[in-house]
Amino acid sequence: MPLKQAAAIRHVPFEDLGTLDPILRDAGYEAHYYDAGVDDPTPAESADLLIILGGPIGAYEETAYPFLTAELALIARRIEAGRPTLGICLGAQLMARGMGARVYPTGVKEIGWTPLELHDAAGATPLRHLEGRAVLHWHGDTFDLPAGCALLASTPICRNQAFARGPNLLALQFHPEVDAANIERWLIGHACELAGAGISPAELRANTQTAAPALRAASDVLFGEWLEGLC
C-alpha cells in the first residue's frame, strides 16, 4: 500500500515537525518539507495532508516577504476544498488569514510554558488530551476567530489559541510539536527576540526539560487521534 503524502511548509529550519514526525510515519505518511521562500510550494497543494509550521515573521507581511502571497493563496485553496490542513503558530495565523480573518500584533510576547484554558467545544476534539498540560507558547501576534470555526482553547494573554472547522482543519497557536532535545536550536535562533522580551534562555530551557515529556505524551495521542479522524 503506497504511503500517504504529508507536505510541511517550513519557515525556519529549527521549527520543524518535531515530535509529530514519528506520529506521521506510524500513521502511514511520508513527510516532505517545502522551505518557504526557497522551494516552490505548488506540489504541497495536492498532498494528502498539509502542515504549515511556525516562524518569526507576521502572516500579514507580504510586502517584506513576497513568498507569503503564493503561500496564502495555496492555503486558502486547501481550506476552501476542505482538505486536511494543520497550522502551528505562524501556520495557524496563515490559516486564519486564508479564511478571511484578521491577524495582528498583540503588543505582548507570549513565550513560555503555561496550560491552556480549554473550551467546551474542545471536549469533542483530540485537543481534550491537553487538559491540564502546559504547552509551549512563542508568539507576539494573534488572529480573529474565522467565521464558521469553533474556538477550542485560550490563555489569559491570547483568547484565540486554537480553532477547528470540521475534522480536517485544525489551527494551533501554540507548539505541541516541540522536541525538548532540539530546544537549544530555538533558543539560539530566537536569541534576539528573547533578549528584547527580557526572557531568560536558562529559565526557558529548564522549564522545557520539566514540561516537555508530559506534553509529548499528550500530543502523541492528540495527533494520532486527529490523523485517524481525517476524511
- The phi, psi pair for 226, rounded to 5°, reads -65, -45
Q: For residue 203, what are the contacts with CB-CB under 8 A and spacing of at least 6?
A: none
Yes or no: say if 13 and 43 are a contact pair by the CB < 8 Å rule: no
- Alpha-helical runs (H) found in the chain: 20-26, 67-81, 90-98, 183-189, 191-197, 201-228
Q: What is the pLDDT of residue 2?
A: 81
DSSP H or E run through 172: strand 169-172
Amino acid at position 27, single letter = A
**Tally of CB atoms within 10 A around 131:** 13
C-alpha 160/C-alpha 133 separation (Å) is 17
Read off the CATH number of the domain in which 23 is found. Answer: 3.40.50.880
Residue by residue, pLDDT tens for the chain (231 residues) are 689 999 999 999 999 999 999 999 999 999 999 999 999 999 999 999 999 999 999 999 999 999 999 999 999 999 999 999 999 999 999 999 999 999 999 999 999 999 999 999 999 999 999 999 999 999 999 999 999 999 999 999 999 999 999 999 999 999 999 999 999 999 999 999 999 999 999 999 999 999 999 999 999 999 999 999 999
Q: How far apart are CA 28 and CA 41, in angstroms?
A: 22
Whether the CB-CB separation of 37 and 74 falls below 8 Å is answered with no
Overall domain count for the chain: 1
CA pair distance 213, 39, nearest whole angstrom: 33
Q: Classify residue 33 as exposed, middle or buried by CB count within 10 Å of its CB (0-12, 13-18, 19+).
A: middle
Domain boundaries, position 148: 4-228
